[in-house]
Structure 1
Amino acid sequence: MLTIAVEGKTDQKIIAALLANAGVHDTSIIVANGSIAPSTRGWQRIEKMSSTRPLIVVYDQDSGSVGDAVSANQEVTDIVFCPAIPTVDAWLFADSAAFFNAVGSKADAFLGRMPLPEQLPYPKFLKSTMLRDQRTLEQLLTSINISIAGSRSPSLKHFINAARRHSNLDPLSFEQPIDAYGQLNREVLRNLISEVYPSEKTLFRSASGNIITAEQMMQEITDGTELGREYSSDILRVARDLLARQAQKKLNETDRKQ
């Protein structure tokens, strides 16, 4: 059995569901009721609470990256420290499609504006306002696609792979990373699309025939989906060809004048 330590009861519920979605079932999750970050040495209290020493410790980390746990993992070799960036609550929003489906029209204001989970400024507040209803929370927890969620949250991916590795399971194959075409390109395209008015205006017809509005495309690009990448590639290709034609036209006009 894989023993995992978390900081709170809500974390316990979220992590149990995420592990189930990832195919990890034989687990015991200990609640520390306080910080267990390696910097605080709070994880040492867990040994007094349980006869079983945890193998994985999951703790909130306001900023940084999973690389920040390297030194802690080198110092305490029999425990794997897994930071949840910025909090475990943020992992609830790692699969934005599951979030929008679970919350419904209440989430319309976030469509096209939902940032990556590790960039959420107040995930606990967002959870308390948007996922207050327990039925909505349960629906979300059971519908999160762990492959998508892990591709959008490096800290979640790190935790899931650690849990599967220590459960003698093969690592999961996560979707193509969202930064496949670069953070700069995403921000530039999002800013361009945000200028489209109204946001419900049809912006793109995909190769499969799907009609996508401006606000929908903003979210697709943020999530780094296949559709977002298709649109990004198309718009860059069109821009390339247009600029090339304009440059050739000016060159021809210059030649005629000479």
Structure 2
Amino acid sequence: MKKAKLTIFVEGPTDKIIVRYILDAAGVSESVAIQAHLGVQAVREAIKGLDNRGADKFLALIDADEMSTADSRELALSKLKHPHIPVYCAIPTIEAWLFADIDKARDGARSAQATKILDRAPLPESIPYPKVLAGHVFKKAPPGQAYSFLQGIDVPKAIARSSSLRSFLAGVFEILGRPATDEAQQLTGSVNRDVFATLLRELPSSTVVWKTVDGSTIDAARLAREVVEGSDLGKQYITELLRIARDMIGRKARS
């Protein structure tokens, strides 16, 4: 069967560099062409009239400043006037993905002080101005060579920390007809709060996801914050979630 040819449309040269390196790390770079345009309007014009009914496939990637991946994709679709090709987004900007594998990001730090800043960095999608932070902490490099540390990122770890990156890579793998990363691979090693917060942020932010013992309902956006901050409420949710999962898996094993 003939392999699909995929072209990804992005907002600029930096986006192209970052996406190329991430696809290198994911092992699919050779199957993908990337076109850089100058902003959302230019991407919108470039993809006008395209669809994925033929052998050639297309995908658009733009920035969208919403905490929820689902909400951000709706925003991105609106910005691009609801095209006939898949649209994905980086939250809040493409530079957030530089921090998806924080261990590998330290390899690109320009100084010991920059490494300390990275050690205190929140989840990628919670960084208010990723481009500004990147300018402060990463080594300067000639055009085309910046952020080369991304080629060595641990992809399962990165997508566990960034729901928008996970969504984008899943879309790329689906179009290319390749199996997506197994969910279980994300949870190897120590399970931390980042994983639970990222899963919650895949949902629309206003989705009610939990009811506490006193009858209060909590939406995905608030619960993600509580989990990241390690509050008593966040810890209670994780504990209850794991107990329910344990019992369900146990019942399935015994049936």
Matched, 1:17 2:21: yes
2:64 paired residue among 61, 64, 68: 61
State the partner residue of 1:114. Answer: 121
Q: In 2 relative to 1, CA 158–60 (structure 1 residues): closer, same or farther, beyond 3 Å?
A: same
1:216-227 matched pairs, under 5 angstroms: none
Matched, 1:79 2:85: yes
- Cα distance, 1:9 vs. partner? 0.3
**Structure 2: runs of 5 or more not aligned:** 198-222, 232-237, 239-255
Q: Is the CA contact (8 Å cut-off) linking 1:3 and 1:55 kept in structure 2? A: yes
* Bigger radius of gyration among the two: 1
125-134 vs 102-111, which moves further: 102-111
State the partner residue of 2:99. Answer: 93
State the partner residue of 2:44. Answer: 44
State the partner residue of 1:148. Answer: 157
Matching residue's letter, 1:34: G
Q: In 2 relative to 1, CA 122–76 (structure 1 residues): closer, same or farther, beyond 3 Å?
A: closer
Q: 2:98 & 2:118 partners in 1: Cα distance?
A: 16
Q: 1:114 & 1:65 partners in 2: Cα distance?
A: 19
* TM-score of the aligned structures, taking structure 2 as reference length: 0.62
Q: In 2 relative to 1, CA 54–33 (structure 1 residues): closer, same or farther, beyond 3 Å?
A: farther
SS at match of 1:55: strand
How many residues are treated as equivalent by the alignment? Answer: 184
Matched, 1:4 2:11: no
Structure having the larger proportion of residues in helix? 1
Matching residue's letter, 2:93: T
Q: In 2 relative to 1, CA 4–13 (structure 1 residues): closer, same or farther, beyond 3 Å?
A: same
SS at match of 1:56: strand
1:124 paired residue among 116, 124, 131: 131
State the partner residue of 1:164. Answer: 173
Q: 2:39 & 2:228 partners in 1: Cα distance?
A: 37
* TM-score of the aligned structures, taking structure 1 as reference length: 0.61
Matching residue's letter, 2:177: N
1:145-224 matched pairs, under 5 angstroms: 145-173=154-182, 175-176=186-187, 178-180=194-196, 183=224, 184=226, 186-188=228-230
RMSD of equivalent CA atoms? 3.3
Deviations 1:214-243 (A, max 9, x none): xxxxxxxxxxxxxxx9xxxxxxxxxxxxxx
State the partner residue of 1:253. Answer: none
Q: 1:78 & 1:60 partners in 2: Cα distance?
A: 19
Q: Is the CA contact (8 Å cut-off) linking 1:57 and 1:81 kept in structure 2? A: yes
State the partner residue of 1:219. Answer: none
Q: 2:179 & 2:22 partners in 1: Cα distance?
A: 16
Deviations 1:153-178 (A, max 9, x none): 10000000100110111001251372
Q: In 2 relative to 1, CA 28–105 (structure 1 residues): closer, same or farther, beyond 3 Å?
A: same
Matching residue's letter, 2:133: L
The percentage of aligned residue pairs carrying the same residue is 29
Q: Is the CA contact (8 Å cut-off) linking 1:5 and 1:54 kept in structure 2? A: no
124-133 vs 89-98, which moves further: 124-133
